[in-house]
Structure 1
């Protein structure tokens, strides 16, 4: 059955521009439609917030933040956002339409994936999240439903509706946003989220791709949350015999319950994933899990577990039992089986003849009393109340007229900043739309002042920690931090920001910082020196020294420095570390016999044995045959030393 026939938006023209053709998916916060931009004549996806949430300013702000965040992420694996707006009670995003399916559809159809396919999907997902993390944002709701796989094989991450700037995640009391099966322990326990919570969710998604099932299950969300807090994610090889240990290690690293043990962001996890893939052979990559199956996919929009829906989840307060589930239930009382006391029989009352006209009058009085009582009950429960209509997005004059039509009057008005509603339009009411108000009001209108613009503070010369705190106080977030040498700014302090100081920005915008590495230090050459002399020379130059655990054969004398990690003359920051490799002395190598051979053949053979070659020809240089060599064939010489070969003249 086509459920889109019952959707009031299908067939409508939203905001005078977007023709809604069909419903694609329904989530916990919004519905996604396939639509056509009639102005540009292109197919796109229209994400429309549920009208019940559009009355909540915090949800609307989060919805608009998604558009702004994704608009700053120009990445091939992120679903692009084209436009954002509101049409009455409908707040929407116009996004890139990806023809294909979600990872959830793939898992529902195939059960589990081969490691090669799982890594093929994981890597572009991590690349997309890595771009977000390095831009200063956290997704906070990674799950298979938000991974889109196009018909052309492209993988894209969608639904940045819960995105927050790094460092602005707040510790909420009582609730946390997300999807229970993919929440990190610190999200559940403290309500906080950073890049490592996305890493945890990706680890759970990888486990699900490899095994076909979630690592933690339960009959209620509370049971799942309890397992996240108290139980490690099991090794996927426990469910898939023969699975490579490198994949077990990858899942364990990403899903460590202690966030300090996890890779610090998606870029670091992507590097681990690529190392794991490189260590696997074709047989390990193409292992078929026992849970893999091939069957018809479930229709879109069906079969989703309640645990897969993004929701507001109550977070237990200290002292509460996390596994307790408190539902308000209606309980039926058992029938009363107690014996009833016997009442003495009374004589039947004597019948008195009734006057018919008097009986009719009594009946009429009874009916009037019932009508009066009913009207009183109706007035007490509903008649004295009026529901506040939706006036969000309307001008003040339009809102006052709409309220007057409902018999309500406008009381006071106040203003506030909003990125969702245009300046001068209604962004909220008190009481909220849909709530009941006694009599004719009053209703308070909240008028939008437009988006709040903040300015980038002056950060030059501030230590990095102080600069980040200054950005936080200004309502901004620190973005990508890079380092450069500077003779003017102290090491560890900010050289510049992008955008620069005084630039107006939207709240929660990321500001890139360039931090000083201090004046550059020219690395001295210490190869061939004793270890103590080399250590002294490098420390005098302002560098720290590390000694490699393994020694190597080299042309340098035993116990001296054979190699240094930073080359002589390289520019380094003060305090940078230089690793020294100690020589075990030259390796003694047998010298091949080359007398009687041509100069070219002798040279080639000696170089292959690890020697340098010097050719001395006797005048008048008419012979190309080797007549002698400085070290006899069969004797040994230090590897890398020079062997001289001679030719005989005539």
Structure 2
């Protein structure tokens, strides 16, 4: 027996049993452990987005000037930026922090998916820059900001908002994309009263990566009951139906001018009470002063059983949507946008 001080055997020494082989471990074929995929090649990048059939290439980062800050939060901020060669305005979401290589590769994959999204009701993603520890996501600029904190008392206007969001959701769901974070702050509007869905996919993943507690608390108020408590639906979670619940809660909040489960619910730290209210109390209802079409519409969205919630396509055929004539964007102006 060799002592530790003698070191490893000489490189030229022959093994005593050169034909010795060890049996390979047997793997249960029913258990699959996926391996991480390699980073995407340059040829696998999604095609650049188009507007009116014209391709818009991703601008160079060096050609973008930051104009002013338009939003901020823990771990990042959003800037209005101008593309010097064309004068085009974009929004740039800047995420701080050091992310592991696996996270960065996943972000790149999700950006590829987001860049293929081609709907006038979904905020367009123009690309991503990864530089000096910052992840910068270039997005379509919406000059009206988010609808968070706005009250929309006009049912005609609210039906138009609902129609646009539902059309965006129907598009995402057809692409097998579940948003999972529909809420007023993720619904953006511009001066032409166009409403678009934002912050799906990579935005949600980045938020969870930066601050899991904050992202969980920030979105729980709009989560469906079966997502909070999986026992309510036999452990089955349907993300598409979950989006419909969050959508209905947001539309009702616009009408009421407050969070439907209570204006201060969850904001004073009593998240346990909020979760119990969502899971075990009756769903919120539109007030009796609202039209019967609107009350029915909200009731359809806020069904406790996810299987009873209509799809986005089905809700587009609801009388609340079809009986209201769409508002003309040409007759709209920034002054006619909703006010808090």
Report the TM-score when normalising by structure 2. Answer: 0.65
Instruction: Write 1 or 2 for the structure with the bigger share of strand.
Output: 1
Q: Deviations over 1:381-417 (max 9, x none)?
A: xxxxxxxxxxxxxxxxxxxxxxxxxxxxxxxxxxxxx
CA drift at 1:207: 0.9
CA drift at 1:95: 1.2
Contact 2:166 2:316 (8 Å CA) reproduced: yes
In the alignment, structure 2 segments of 5+ residues that lack a partner are 1-59, 205-212, 326-335
CA distance in 1, matches of 2:226, 2:160: 29
Q: For 1:136-535, list aligned pairs within 5 A.
A: 136-161=176-201, 177=216, 179-190=219-230, 192=237, 194-217=239-262, 218=265, 219=268, 220-237=270-287, 241-263=288-310, 265-272=311-318, 275-278=319-322
In the alignment, structure 1 segments of 5+ residues that lack a partner are 1-13, 165-173, 282-293, 299-650
Question: Does 2:125 correspond to 1:81?
Answer: yes
CA drift at 1:243: 1.4
CA distance in 2, matches of 1:277, 1:121: 10
> Which residue in the other structure is 1:125 paired with?
165
CA distance in 2, matches of 1:27, 1:65: 24
Instruction: Write 1 or 2 for the structure with the bigger share of helix.
Output: 2
Question: Does 2:140 correspond to 1:90?
Answer: no
Q: Deviations over 1:557-611 (max 9, x none)?
A: xxxxxxxxxxxxxxxxxxxxxxxxxxxxxxxxxxxxxxxxxxxxxxxxxxxxxxx
CA distance in 2, matches of 1:31, 1:208: 26
CA drift at 1:126: 0.7
| Counterpart selection for 1:17 from 63, 66, 71 | 63
Q: Secondary structure at the match of 1:113?
A: coil
Q: Secondary structure at the match of 2:316?
A: helix
Q: Deviations over 1:248-292 (max 9, x none)?
A: 2211211112111111x32222222xx2344579xxxxxxxxxxx
CA distance in 2, matches of 1:74, 1:229: 35
Provide closer, same or farther for how the CA distance between residues 17 and 278 of structure 1 changes in structure 2, counting only shifts above 3 A: closer
CA distance in 2, matches of 1:78, 1:226: 32
CA distance in 2, matches of 1:122, 1:64: 31
CA distance in 1, matches of 2:140, 2:246: 24
Q: Secondary structure at the match of 1:85?
A: strand
> Which residue in the other structure is 2:30 paired with?
none
Q: Secondary structure at the match of 1:268?
A: helix
Q: Secondary structure at the match of 2:259?
A: coil
Q: Deviations over 1:33-62 (max 9, x none)?
A: 10122354422110111x23x425576456
CA drift at 1:228: 1.1
Q: Deviations over 1:442-473 (max 9, x none)?
A: xxxxxxxxxxxxxxxxxxxxxxxxxxxxxxxx
Report the TM-score when normalising by structure 1. Answer: 0.36
Q: Secondary structure at the match of 1:152?
A: coil
Give me the CA root mean square deviation.
3.1
Contact 1:62 1:161 (8 Å CA) reproduced: no
CA drift at 1:231: 1.5
Provide closer, same or farther for how the CA distance between residues 129 and 277 of structure 1 changes in structure 2, counting only shifts above 3 A: closer
Q: Deviations over 1:465-496 (max 9, x none)?
A: xxxxxxxxxxxxxxxxxxxxxxxxxxxxxxxx
CA distance in 2, matches of 1:247, 1:88: 50
Provide closer, same or farther for how the CA distance between residues 58 and 271 of structure 1 changes in structure 2, counting only shifts above 3 A: farther
Provide closer, same or farther for how the CA distance between residues 188 and 65 of structure 1 changes in structure 2, counting only shifts above 3 A: farther
Provide closer, same or farther for how the CA distance between residues 39 and 163 of structure 1 changes in structure 2, counting only shifts above 3 A: same
> Which residue in the other structure is 2:78 paired with?
32
Contact 1:138 1:194 (8 Å CA) reproduced: yes
Contact 2:162 2:321 (8 Å CA) reproduced: no
Q: Secondary structure at the match of 1:156?
A: strand
Q: Secondary structure at the match of 2:254?
A: helix
Provide closer, same or farther for how the CA distance between residues 201 and 30 of structure 1 changes in structure 2, counting only shifts above 3 A: farther
CA distance in 2, matches of 1:186, 1:86: 37
Provide closer, same or farther for how the CA distance between residues 29 and 206 of structure 1 changes in structure 2, counting only shifts above 3 A: farther
Provide closer, same or farther for how the CA distance between residues 32 and 176 of structure 1 changes in structure 2, counting only shifts above 3 A: closer
Higher relative contact order (CA 8 A, sep 6+): 2
> Which residue in the other structure is 1:103 paired with?
147
Provide closer, same or farther for how the CA distance between residues 140 and 73 of structure 1 changes in structure 2, counting only shifts above 3 A: same
CA distance in 2, matches of 1:61, 1:38: 29
CA drift at 1:175: 10
Q: Deviations over 1:540-559 (max 9, x none)?
A: xxxxxxxxxxxxxxxxxxxx
CA distance in 1, matches of 2:162, 2:75: 25
Aligned pairs, how many? Answer: 252
CA distance in 2, matches of 1:244, 1:55: 49
Provide closer, same or farther for how the CA distance between residues 137 and 28 of structure 1 changes in structure 2, counting only shifts above 3 A: farther
